[in-house]
Amino acid sequence: MAEISKPVKRKRVHKSPEARRADILRASWEVFSTIGFSEATIQDITTAAGMGKGSFYMYFETKDHVLGAMWEEYVSVFYETTESILAKGEAWWPTLDELLTQLIRHAVDHAELRRLVYGSANAKALDLCRESNARVMDRICEFVSRGERAGVFRSRNADWGFRMIYHAADGLLDEFIARGGDLDCEEITHSVLELAHRTLGYQEAVPAAG
């Protein structure tokens, strides 16, 4: 009589907290992209991640916080880009133009995430995303305010002027992204730079950034 083999026990995989958090974010993106944010449940996410609910709550309170974390990663990448651009110390206007150009390109490259956030997220998730946005906007506004004090950016209030430019660009991008189809990144950039130059009083010759 043949001997019945014993079932082989699966080896438990030990992952770092960072890896498990990354698993949750990856699984959440798959779930949100498939069934939508509003319909998704914690169970859907943990099933896709191959873990129990208890593991989920070790890293996130709700699915809103998961979406907020996704957006924070998106913003953090651009924040690092912002710092690298500012560190070059180039002239004021070329620096501002590059910041806005890269901001638009980053948004277009992550159109699906923006569509998910602004198209299906609830108020709580959106508030978490706005907190992240403020970090980038405040950093660039510091630069613009220094440019105003140097006499380069000329507006009644350059800080307010840039905030309006930022929100206008953000709103324009979200409207185009919501429509679907290909985005003309070059034309969008041209329009946003034109608005920025008019709002902040572009002049041909300006001193270098300090």
CATH of the domain at 142: 1.10.357.10
Same-domain check for residues 82 and 149: yes
Distance in angstroms (rounded) separating the CA atoms of residues 53 and 46: 6
Prediction pTM value: 0.80
DSSP string, 61-119: SSHHHHHHHHHHHHHHHHHHHHHHHHHT--BHHHHHHHHHHHHHHHHHHTHHHHHHHHH
Looking at the 3D structure of the chain, how many domains does it have? 2
Look at residue 38 in the predicted model and tell me its pLDDT.
87
Same-domain check for residues 181 and 95: yes
Look at residue 204 in the predicted model and tell me its pLDDT.
63
Residue 10 covered by a domain: no
| pLDDT tens digits for range 30-61 | 999 898 888 999 999 999 999 988 999 999 99
| pLDDT tens digits for range 134-159 | 889 999 999 999 999 999 999 999 99
CATH of the domain at 32: 1.10.10.60
The mean pLDDT value for 129-137 works out to 85
Residue 204 covered by a domain: no
Structural domain of 184:
63-199
